[in-house]
């Protein structure tokens, strides 16, 4: 309740019930903007990998059973019904989700996930970064060979195809409900606008069958640190992190893992233009920006 009070004092919204902030806006018949609440109103608590570790490693059976449960929800049934109905009844060119958390799939090789967890909990060390670099180099090499049609062993193939969701706090932690939303948006132009991670992302949205159903445009933070808080601010290390993630995560098209700024998006009847804008440093009063990436969705 304290969180709700502070939110409404800082970001007043035109809602009758302060516990229900999900709402939609029709913007000139071009955009149906649906602002979601993926944090409070109906959300089941996110699951945590630490709850599934045993003496022999991750209990994949128990994890998969809970993770893929059809009853897990990030929206709650009332908000989900409102959302699917809003999408179905809208004739706007673009169906746009304002989501607090990433909707795209960020599935990374399991062995890489374990190392990231160690770095996050223990802090960056020369030993861990060397181990991480070695593993990522091997995985990128395997993935590149597969992309080029070069034969790899079954063991090597398993290393890059045995993947787990990186962030169970986002839509990746609620995969069944995400499929319901994707199905509701079938045949429509779906765009997800997101944040929360402090980093910039551009991803395809694909369903469980691998069919592309939309795009996700996700902004970096204005000031809160991103991956540089975990991996350090060495430019070479950050660049390697960005490149490897883009290659190893199938739906990820672009990421910026260290710069601060915002995302500018322009919607028209014909396309969507997105521009990721960054300041040079937070240690300066200079607010001029540079474009880190721009894309056009048609």
Please give the pLDDT value at position 161: 96
Inter-CA distances, 225 with 207, 221, 231, 233, Å: 31, 8, 11, 10
Q: How far apart are CA 286 and CA 17, in angstroms?
A: 40
Q: What is the mean pLDDT of residues 73-77?
A: 98
Please give the pLDDT value at position 298: 95
The neighbour count for residue 273, using CB atoms within 10 Å, is 13
Q: What is the mean pLDDT of residues 271-296?
A: 96
Please give the pLDDT value at position 243: 95
Distance of CA 190 to the CA centre of its chain: 15
Please give the pLDDT value at position 125: 87
Between strands 57-58 and 94-98, the pairing is unpaired
Please give the pLDDT value at position 12: 82
Global pTM value: 0.94
pLDDT tens digits, residue range 95-135? 999 999 999 999 999 999 989 888 888 888 889 989 999 99
Q: How confident is the model at residue 68 (pLDDT cuts 50, 70, 90)?
A: very high
pLDDT tens digits, residue range 152-207? 999 999 999 999 999 999 999 999 999 999 999 999 999 999 999 999 999 999 99
Q: What percent of the chain has pLDDT over 90?
A: 87
Query: Of 234 and 170, which is predicted with more confidence?
Result: 170
Please give the pLDDT value at position 89: 97
Please give the pLDDT value at position 34: 98
Please give the pLDDT value at position 126: 87
What integer best gives the mean pLDDT of the chain?
A: 95
Q: What percent of the chain has pLDDT over 70?
A: 100
Please give the pLDDT value at position 122: 82
Please give the pLDDT value at position 11: 87
Q: How confident is the model at residue 232 (pLDDT cuts 50, 70, 90)?
A: confident
Please give the pLDDT value at position 121: 83
Q: What is the mean pLDDT of residues 251-271?
A: 97
């Amino acid at each position: 309740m304290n969180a709700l009070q502070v939110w409404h004092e800082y970001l007043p919204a035109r809602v009758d019930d302060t516990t229900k902030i999900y709402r939609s806006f029709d913007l000139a018949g071009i955009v149906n903007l649906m602002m979601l609440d993926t944090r409070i109103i109906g959300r089941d608590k996110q699951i945590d990998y630490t709850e599934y570790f045993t003496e022999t490693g991750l209990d994949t059976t128990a994890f998969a059973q809970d993770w893929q449960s059809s009853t897990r929800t990030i929206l709650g049934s009332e908000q989900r019904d409102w959302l699917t109905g809003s999408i179905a009844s809208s004739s706007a060119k673009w169906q746009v989700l304002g989501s607090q958390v990433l909707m795209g799939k960020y599935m990374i090789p399991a062995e890489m996930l374990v190392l990231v967890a160690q770095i996050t909990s223990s802090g960056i060390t020369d030993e861990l970064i060397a181990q991480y670099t070695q593993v990522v180099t091997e995985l990128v090499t395997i993935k590149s060979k597969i992309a080029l049609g070069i034969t790899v062993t079954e063991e090597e193939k398993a290393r890059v195809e045995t993947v787990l969701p990186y962030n169970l706090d986002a839509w990746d932690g609620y995969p069944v409900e995400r499929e319901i939303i994707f199905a509701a948006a079938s045949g429509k132009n779906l765009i997800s606008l997101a944040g929360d991670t402090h980093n910039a992302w551009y991803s395809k949205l694909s369903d469980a069958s691998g069919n592309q159903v939309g795009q996700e445009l996700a902004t970096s933070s204005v000031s809160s640190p991103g991956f540089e808080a975990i991996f350090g601010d060495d430019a070479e290390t950050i660049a390697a992190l960005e490149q490897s993630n883009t290659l190893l995560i199938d739906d990820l098209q672009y990421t910026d893992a260290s710069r601060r700024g915002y995302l500018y998006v322009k919607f028209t009847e014909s396309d969507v233009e997105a521009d990721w804008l960054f300041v040079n440093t937070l240690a300066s009063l200079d607010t001029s920006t540079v474009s880190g990436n721009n894309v056009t969705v048609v």
